[in-house]
Amino acid sequence: MEEAIDLFETKFPAAIRQGNYDPPKVRCSKWMVVRGPVIGSKHHRGTLLVEAKSIEAWAKHHAGAVWSTVQSEQGAREYLPTWIEESDPSDESVSIPDEDMLSVLQGYDENFIKDGRVQLWCPDCRTLHNTVDCGTYDNERMGKISTWVSEWRCPEGHVVHNEDQEIRWIIR
């Protein structure tokens, strides 16, 4: 049996496991929430919306290019392009993706911002903005650990996101 599994894995090293993922029952609207207090983001005062249709090509590419060992996250990654394809751009309301979809999307939040695919709700301005200023400061490296603070501001200068970041480098 083990030998058969070994052979299979040699032939298909990145076999996709259909995870225990339940696709959302609701149709996606024009906008998806990717960060914000409404979805429990601890370090975000502002709410970041991504225009679903604008990332359709990215989602298709991403589903084929990246693979996760977390089954439900992989399921979400594979379903995301379909959810977006079937979304309703005439519905101006906001959709909240499930947790697994959020894990897939959140790693790319600053890419979506740079590519101009977002809107930001600023709680101080009480309005939506089309741009977000992403910055970092206090960059430091101590041996194998790099730390910095990432900060997002609305165009009026209000801080809508502030978070200590850390990366541990693997050096041999």
Residue 159 CB, nearest approach to Zn ion (Å)? 9
Asked whether the beta carbons of 167 and 145 are under 8 A apart, the reply is yes
HSE-CB at 123 with a 13 A cutoff on CA atoms is 10
Smallest separation (angstroms) from Zn ion to the CB of 12: 50
Provide the minimum distance between the beta carbon of 78 and Zn ion in the complex, in angstroms, as a whole number. Answer: 37
Least Å distance, CB 156 to Zn ion, is: 4
d(CA 157, CA 160): 9
- Compute the distance between CA of residue 32 and CA of residue 49 in angstroms, rounded to an integer: 5
Choose between 42 and 126: whose C-beta lies nearer to Zn ion.
Answer: 126
- Which residue, 59 or 122, has its beta carbon nearer to Zn ion? 122
CB nearer Zn ion, residue 89 or residue 155: 155
Question: Residue 5 in contact with residue 25, Cβ under 8 Å?
Answer: no
Binding site for Zn ion (CB under 5 A): 122, 124-125, 154, 156, 158
